[in-house]
């Protein structure tokens, strides 16, 4: 499968020594911190961290103990002390483990979650963001839906399926949010019209530099509306690890 992940795949194309160049999503980090009431004392592991942009976003918001795990990463450490490793950390447990668009890339999602639970503290939180196969974009565009991303995406969930899987593993769902973005709306439409992803991306880059930005605004509005009616093409589910008694 590695042949389908080129060297310039977007998760790997950032220089860890220059975190200021990373596309940091601070709004995402703030939302996670607020929902889980995290403080600088909590420990967070980004599972499938890719470019480590998520780790850096959390660090900027005051979370001191942030670790990155990605099986394809080159072991490293950022100037801020964010440790990056390509093996599962076994030297400590974590209060929060985040799987942001990584679970759909693995062969056995249940096995991957079980591995994460082994290093998640009791009453800790597992945050999973992933594409939604029950989205309106999938039903409309089918094989042209950008989130299919074959063969890199191996399992695509809907919220009910993911919740059922996690409940069976001792995880209690505490929050569900639909958060599809302009990316899915725009590129799925372009692919349905016969364009390749590279052609679609090139056109998108040109739109941001010209007056024709209305296309982007319209795609964003459609994505937000789909999220409101619970048909967005991505979702984030948060689970709490239940303490076993006896």
- In order, the DSSP letters of 77-89 are E-TT--EEESS--
Confidence of residue 76 (pLDDT cuts 50, 70, 90): confident
Indicate the DSSP class of residue 104.
G
State how beta strands 171-178 and 234-241 pair: antiparallel
Q: Is residue 7 pLDDT above 80, yes or no?
A: no
Q: Which residues contact 43 (CB under 8 A, 6 or more apart)?
A: 65, 66, 67, 92, 93, 94, 95, 96
Model pLDDT, residue 150: 85
Question: Mean per-residue pLDDT for 148-152?
Answer: 88
User: Do 171 and 237 form a contact (C-beta atoms < 8 A)?
Assistant: no
Confidence of residue 178 (pLDDT cuts 50, 70, 90): very high
pLDDT, tens digit (0-9, with 9 covering 90-100), for 77-131: 888 888 999 999 988 899 999 999 999 999 999 999 999 999 999 999 999 999 9
How far is Cα 177 from Cα 227, in angstroms, rounded to an integer?
8
Model pLDDT, residue 49: 86
The 3 state secondary structure assigned to 116-160 is HHCCEEEEEEEEEEEECCCCHHHHHHHHHCHHHCCCCCCCCCCHH
Q: Is residue 14 pLDDT above 70, yes or no?
A: no
Backbone angles phi, psi at 30, to 5 degrees: -60, -40
């Amino acid at each position: 499968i590695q042949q389908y992940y080129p060297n310039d795949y977007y998760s790997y194309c950032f220089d860890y020594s220059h975190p200021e160049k990373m596309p940091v999503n601070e709004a995402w980090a703030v939302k996670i911190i607020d929902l889980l009431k995290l403080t600088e004392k909590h420990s967070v592991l980004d599972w499938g961290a890719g470019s480590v942009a998520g780790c850096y976003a959390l660090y900027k918001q005051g979370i001191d103990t942030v670790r990155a795990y990605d099986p394809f990463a080159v072991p490293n450490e950022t100037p801020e002390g964010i440790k990056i490793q390509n093996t599962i950390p076994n030297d400590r447990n974590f209060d929060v483990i985040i799987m942001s668009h990584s679970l759909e890339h693995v062969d056995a999602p249940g096995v991957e979650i079980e591995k994460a639970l082994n290093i998640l503290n009791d009453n800790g939180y597992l945050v999973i963001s992933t594409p939604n196969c029950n989205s309106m974009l999938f039903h409309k565009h089918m094989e042209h839906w950008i989130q299919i991303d074959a063969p890199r995406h191996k399992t695509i969930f809907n919220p009910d399926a993911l919740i059922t899987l996690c409940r069976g593993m001792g995880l209690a769902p505490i929050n569900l949010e639909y958060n599809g973005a302009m990316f899915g709306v725009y590129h799925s439409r372009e692919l349905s019209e016969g364009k390749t992803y590279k052609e679609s991306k090139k056109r998108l880059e040109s739109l941001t530099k010209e007056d024709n930005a209305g296309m982007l605004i319209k795609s964003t509005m459609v994505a937000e509306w789909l999220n409101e009616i619970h048909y967005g093409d991505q979702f984030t589910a948060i689970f709490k690890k239940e303490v076993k008694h006896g």
